[in-house]
Amino acid sequence: MLNPRHTTGANVIPTENGWHLEIPPGEAGAYRLAQVDDYAGLPRGRFPLRTPSTLSLRCRVSEAHLPGTWGFGFWNDPFVFSFGLQGKPRRLPVLPNACWFFHASAENHLSFHNSLPGNGFLVQSFRSPKIPSLLLAPGLLGLPLLFSKLISRLLRTVVGKTIGEDSLLLDLDVTQWHMYNLLWRESEVAFSVDDAIVFESPISPRGSLGLVIWIDNQYAAWTPEGRIGMGTLQQKAPAWVEIEQVKVMRNE
């Protein structure tokens, strides 16, 4: 079952055969999100997807170069803080494991490797080692050091060697309907568009993952030069993602 989530003013609207996810226009400084997922209320260890799992759906979006990000696929929701209060699951940040179709506007740079694209419409996979959250927590004390571009570049190199990553920039008119398929196996990930394979990668995420489909106005960048930035972007018109024929085949 997919669970809708959205910020104030955004909408997640069921359609005859899918969902319409829309965020309203607005200035930078306010976060806007519309999302459906299958892991709301679950701790990461109980996320429902294991290898092998597949995702297929049809999708189109309102504009080719929307500010922020949108996409769909499998991930471990790695950056969430939650201490288990008020009935919420306990989650601390972990390293990313994901495979997805991912659009990132030009303000983003979401790659740890200089040879891989950091924005555009991407197929992308991440595989990270299992490092307990409590061992990662001391690293938060070193965040002020990232304001030094030299230290930031060095740390980015270390992170790139720790996290396996693979991606490809797609040349596709995303405003038109296309059929997308994602096959996640233990040893590989395969991406298809309109029944043609566009990318295969041996970088396969590990662990339990969840399905996420979203659109937002957020950006994050960690560039090869060591520049770090994040925030929200101005949006002059409503932005939307429409999906239909969503099918997930789970490993039983």
The two structure tokens encoding residue 184: 């996640």
CA nearest to 98, candidates 36, 47, 56: 47
The two structure tokens encoding residue 249: 């085949």
CA nearest to 163, candidates 56, 83, 78: 78
Q: Which residue has the higher pLDDT, 21 or 1?
A: 21
pLDDT greater than 70 at residue 164:
yes
pLDDT tens digits, residue range 224-249? Answer: 999 999 999 999 999 999 999 999 99
Model confidence at 140, pLDDT cuts 50, 70, 90, reads low
Q: Under a CB-based contact definition with an 8 Å cutoff, are residues 197 and 190 in contact?
A: yes
Q: Is 32 exposed, middle or buried (0-12, 13-18, 19+ CB in 10 A)?
A: buried
Residue 18 has what pLDDT?
97
Average pLDDT, the chain: 91
Task: Note the pTM of the prediction, 2 decimals.
Answer: 0.92
Domains plus CATH for the chain? 3-249 (2.60.120.200)
pLDDT tens digits, residue range 46-76? Answer: 999 999 999 999 999 999 999 999 999 999 9
Q: Which residue has the higher pLDDT, 81 or 87?
A: 81
Residue 239 has what pLDDT?
98
Residue 85 has what pLDDT?
43
Q: Under a CB-based contact definition with an 8 Å cutoff, are residues 102 and 124 in contact?
A: yes
Strand partners, 52: none
Residue 139 has what pLDDT?
55
Burial letters 109-124, b for 16+ CB under 10 A, else e: bbbbbeebbbbbbbbb
